[in-house]
Amino acid sequence: MSTDRYVSPLSERYASKEMQYIFSPDMKFRTWRRLWIALAETEKELGLPITQEQIDELKAHKDDINYDVAKERERQVRHDVMSHVYAYGVQCPKAKGIIHLGATSCYVGDNTDIIVMTEALKLVKKKLVNVIAELAKFAEKYKDLPTLAFTHFQPAQPTTVGKRATLWMQEFMLDLEDLNYVLSTMKLLGSKGTTGTQASFLELFDGDQETIDKIDPMIAEKMGFKQCYPVSGQTYSRKVDTRVVNILAGIAASAHKFSNDIRLLQHLKEVEEPFEKSQIGSSAMAYKRNPMRSERIASLSRFVMVDAMNPAITSATQWFERTLDDSANKRLSVPEGFLAIDGILDLCLNVVDGLVVYPKVIEKRLRSELPFMATENIMMDAVKAGGDRQELHERIRELSMEAGKTVKVEGKDNNLLELIAADPAFNLTLEELEGKTRLSQYALKILLEASLSAGIILIDKDSDRYTISKTGWFLLTDAATRVNIDFNHDVNYQGLFYLDEALETGKPAGLKTLGNWPTIYEGLSQLSPQVLESWLHFDHFYSDHSFDKALGIVFSKDTKHLMD
């Protein structure tokens, strides 16, 4: 490594060898030679006097670039394309007269740019899919670990660690959709001459337009593309570069959001990015475990998001059929955008693969906030016992402020339940209030909501029947066992009717009715086995739905015999 000149940290520190090769001189100039071979073959097949011997000679030297000859020639003529035409001709004396025949510099330059960006997008797609897959594993592993959610970075209703990961996944999935679309629309420039009119080919083929129209499709096929852009100036539209780098900027935005969340969670000591055994967090504070990978993701992501301005401005400021003020900017903005996003995705994969979760810390923070979250249910119960809703709402607000002061000013535990129990307006004992904040109830609520949001519980049309996803029911029953939930007491039968209604209509939106949580926990115990049995055996359950087995699972072991 040279130590007396600037070296880009993108190549030295961040980007992979695979991405660096795509933007390497070898890739560039070998692609130029492949394009010259494709052009010569096409012209030969369309009737120009080019021999197979000449083409074979070109193919024999397509990979062994004589850089020294090209460099010396460029020093003399100050033109990179003609320097390499000359260098190729030195190696291929029999074919030198037909190299670059009828083409302009953009034939090799622009077509190579398209090929290089296409290959780079394919590598980005591969890495993006790997990140999404790793996040999916993480989400599955922690799908039933309740955690405090935050809005405005203030405590909100619970979610699960796995559900939160699906938010990151969804952002990356949107990026993948955009990437797939842009990748599917990539086309070559073709060989359209100095202003996009193919005037030189009109001369070569004596004005035979029918033959000339075959040139671009034949070149595209030889280079592995379906087609060329139908019209152009001298170059392909620089709008293509804008679209491509915008994809990178979108991925960078998603990665930045993900890395910010990890940094905040690491501050809360709930989640931690990988930390090597001998890693040093601070030169001064030896105890520190800084989220340096996530910080690096954020730093590189800002670079890529800002970089998207370069091709946008370049595209907007091109004059007529072309100007050369795009060239120097493109040499920097496009490769560096790809090299940076490559490093970002490698870092994301590393972070997700090594994330450490601390359930005890998560549970402690969730428990500390549960009394506040239970206030709506507490108020409903107090109203049913004869209280005034508006007066109770005001009392809960006042008591919540008092409890908050106890926590924040005095540094004591949350005493909201004790304050409510001591208030005669609620007519509830401390034992009853504590029952309202059982973690298992909140766990069930969180699990159901997380499952719905993540699309695990689905309505699928299968053989003209709507069915609840087996995966969804397995997730709920398996998770319920782990948090010791008894479905007989923690799932309201009305909620199951809502599910049935959703099945009948075939509308997944019907499942959202489960969000009516004040009634979800009333339980099934009020229903006698005889009522349950008669309800379960309604004809429509068997004739229209595959729902009977699911009900048998949901009603748990006490009523499961009804389905035997």
Residues annotated as part of the active site:
152, 282
User: SS3 breakdown of the chain: % helix, strand, coil, rounded to 5?
Assistant: 65, 5, 30
Please, are residues 551 and 563 in contact by the beta-carbon 8 Å criterion? Answer: yes
DSSP structure class, residue 262: H
| Rounded Cα–Cα distance for residues 79 and 161 (Å) | 57
151 bridge partner residues = 154
Residue 453's SS3 state is helix
Q: Tell me the sheet residues that pair with 545.
A: 466
Query: Hey, what amino acid is at 23?
Result: F
C-alpha to C-alpha distance for 304 and 253, rounded to whole angstroms: 9
User: Tokens 């880009």 label which residue?
Assistant: 8
Q: What separation in angstroms does the CA of 467 have from each of 480, 511, 543?
A: 21, 13, 12
Distance CA 47, CA 211 (A): 9
Are 535 and 505 spatial neighbours (Cβ–Cβ below 8 Å)? no
Per-residue tokens: 228: 């060329």
Nearest Cα residue to 433 out of 365, 339, 515, 370: 370
How far apart are the C-alpha atoms of 342 and 20, rounded to whole Å? 9
Q: What one-letter code names the amino acid at 513?
A: T
Contacts of 94 (CB under 8 A, 6+ apart): 53, 54, 57
Cα 74 from Cα 110, distance rounded (Å): 19
Collapsing DSSP to helix, strand or coil, 101 comes out as coil
